[in-house]
Amino acid sequence: MLLSDLNTFSPELNKKNVFLVSLGATEQHGRYAPLGTDNFIQNALMEKVQAALPEVIFLPNIPVGPSWQHMGFSGTVSLKPETLYAIIRDVTNCLKDTASTIIFVSWHGGNKPTVNEFIEKERQNFPDLKLALVTFGDEGTDEKAEKLLNGPTDDHAGNTEVSIMLAVRPDITKQPHASDAKENVDFSWDKPIIEVTPDGEIDHHKQWVASAEIGEELVAVYSENLVAKIRVLIA
């Protein structure tokens, strides 16, 4: 269920609940995908997870996060890590009286270090709460995704993300062609991407294979994996 759909006097809020805090980003996603890619993917996956876990209360997605590696590309909006830390601390403080568990979920990798730091430092301040970061994917999902793509998954704005965007928002996503130029650059996320590639795409796949059909299957792979992890956590 969605927190925004509940009334402040809803009986669901008169007991301890499992809340899911969804974290996104607004940043460049290369030549084919929009700036809101992380949010569109996050929301599409959360819809699947919500349908499978109706007992969990989902907060609205927070649409910006630390994206400093993407600065230099027009439209990127980046938070300082300490800003995100303060946001999730405030959210946790607001939910603590009606929460047994707060789960943080982020497709955008740039949010994860701050969430991990928050959980490590603040756990003692919320002794009655279970705080957890649940990530999309693992070795099993990587294997499935690589089979679908007939090659490696992307690091950013490549075949993986463009395929999912072609499935969930084809109206604002461009279709790459196999003949389109495609760089194969190494990137360690310790510098701005623009210093490495002017396209902003980090993907070691040898060519463009992105499609809506692959994207639909990837949505199923990643959402089912997340559902399984959350079920274990709240059991």
Structure confidence by residue, pLDDT tens digits, 211-234: 999 999 999 999 999 999 999 999
pTM, rounded to two decimals: 0.95
Q: Which helix (H) or strand (E) holds 47?
A: helix 37-52
What is the predicted pLDDT for the residue at 185?
83
Q: Are residues 71 and 115 in the same domain?
A: yes
pLDDT level of residue 184 (50, 70, 90 thresholds): confident
pLDDT level of residue 111 (50, 70, 90 thresholds): very high
* Beta-carbon contacts of residue 103 (< 8 Å; ≥ 6 apart): 18, 19, 20, 21, 56, 132, 133, 134, 230, 233
Structure confidence by residue, pLDDT tens digits, 6-61: 999 999 998 999 999 999 999 999 999 999 999 999 999 999 999 999 999 999 99
pLDDT level of residue 160 (50, 70, 90 thresholds): very high
Give the Cα separation of 225 and 101 in Å (integer): 19
Please say if the pLDDT value at position 76 is more than 90: yes
Question: Tokens for 172?
Answer: 């604002």
Q: Are residues 134 and 48 in the same domain?
A: yes
Q: Are residues 10 and 75 in the same domain?
A: yes
Q: Which helix (H) or strand (E) holds 173?
A: none
Residue 106 sits in a domain whose CATH number is 3.40.50.10310
- Check: CB of residue 140 under 8 Å from CB of residue 123: no
Structure confidence by residue, pLDDT tens digits, 116-145: 999 999 999 999 999 999 998 899 999 999
Please say if the pLDDT value at position 204 is more than 90: yes
What is the predicted pLDDT for the residue at 186?
81
Q: Are residues 77 and 148 in the same domain?
A: no
What is the predicted pLDDT for the residue at 73?
98
Q: Are residues 144 and 72 in the same domain?
A: no
User: What residues form DSSP beta bridges with 182?
Assistant: none
DSSP E strands, 77-141: 99-106, 130-134
Q: Are residues 80 and 155 in the same domain?
A: no
What is the predicted pLDDT for the residue at 183?
87
Q: Are residues 112 and 150 in the same domain?
A: no
Q: Are residues 94 and 162 in the same domain?
A: no
Q: Are residues 124 and 198 in the same domain?
A: no
Q: Are residues 114 and 229 in the same domain?
A: yes
- Domain range enclosing 194: 139-218
What is the predicted pLDDT for the residue at 148?
97
Q: Are residues 14 and 92 in the same domain?
A: yes
Domain count, the chain: 2
What is the predicted pLDDT for the residue at 132?
97
Mean per-residue pLDDT over the chain, rounded:
96
What is the predicted pLDDT for the residue at 121?
97
What is the predicted pLDDT for the residue at 137?
86
User: What residues form DSSP beta bridges with 57?
Assistant: 19
pLDDT level of residue 194 (50, 70, 90 thresholds): very high
Q: Are residues 155 and 40 in the same domain?
A: no
